[in-house]
Amino acid sequence: MVELLNTRDVARRYHVTSATVLNWIRAGKLKAYTTPGGHYRVAREDLEAFSHDYGYSPAAGIPTFCLRLLFVGSDAPLFERLRDAVRFRWPAAQVEQACTEFEIGWWMARLRPTHLVVHLGLTSPALIEHCKQLAGDAGRELGLEALPGSPEAGWSEWIDQLGPSAAAQRAPGR
């Protein structure tokens, strides 16, 4: 027999609100069944698939893979589009923006990003060199990524490559 959970039970397992669970369901990230009364029920198998696909651990209630991106560049509308696209695919991702060397250093210390994202067409060569130096000095695995030129140029594939399987491939000792 299939075990079905209501949205409140799912929210408790993931330490999120019921509204967040409803957002996941409406966005198509979490498969759910609708009851005759209009409520949602989630099968345990679908919850496990969601955990695998999006890097969440229901037991701990925290992401098993924590994607932390630092976008380097001053184009605010582009950053907003990137942040929304990344968070749509990886809901627990932390995405921040830095425009100056000071901000890059500050966010490096505070966020401890897994990736530095540079838009080559909009970032000065000096700032790119500073990012390369910081990536090398980080003393941990840190990806320096070049952002594709536009969403139409393959952002979705690029964002998918930032996920847990790509991180496991880059991890030391593998």
pLDDT digits (tens, 9 = 90+) for 108-141: 878 778 777 877 666 677 777 777 677 666 555 5
Give the end of a domain, one of 28, 44, 63: 63
Which residue range is the domain that position 19 belongs to? Answer: 4-63
Whole-number percent of the chain with pLDDT over 90? 13
Domain boundary among 63, 80, 102: 63
d(CA 170, CA 141): 7
Instruction: Tell me if residue 125 falls in helix, strand or coil.
Output: helix
Q: CA nearest 106: which of 143, 81, 70, 133?
A: 70
> What's the total number of domains in the chain?
2
Residues 48 and 131 in one domain: no
Closest CA to 21 of 50, 53, 64, 1: 50
- The residue with tokens 């000096």 is 126
Q: Does 88 lie in the same domain as 124?
A: yes
What CA–CA distance (Å, rounded) separates 140 from 4? Answer: 41
Distance from C-alpha of 13 to C-alpha of 30, rounded to nearest angstrom? 14
Q: How large is the average pLDDT for residues 141-145?
A: 65
Q: Quick one: 103 and 150 in the same domain? A: yes
- According to DSSP, the β-strands at 40-43 and 4-6 are antiparallel
Question: Last residue of some domain: 63, 82, 101?
Answer: 63
Helix runs in 55-111, H state only: 76-89, 101-111
Answer yes or no: do 52 and 77 share one domain: no
CATH number, domain of 19, equals 1.10.1660.10
Model pLDDT, residue 169: 45
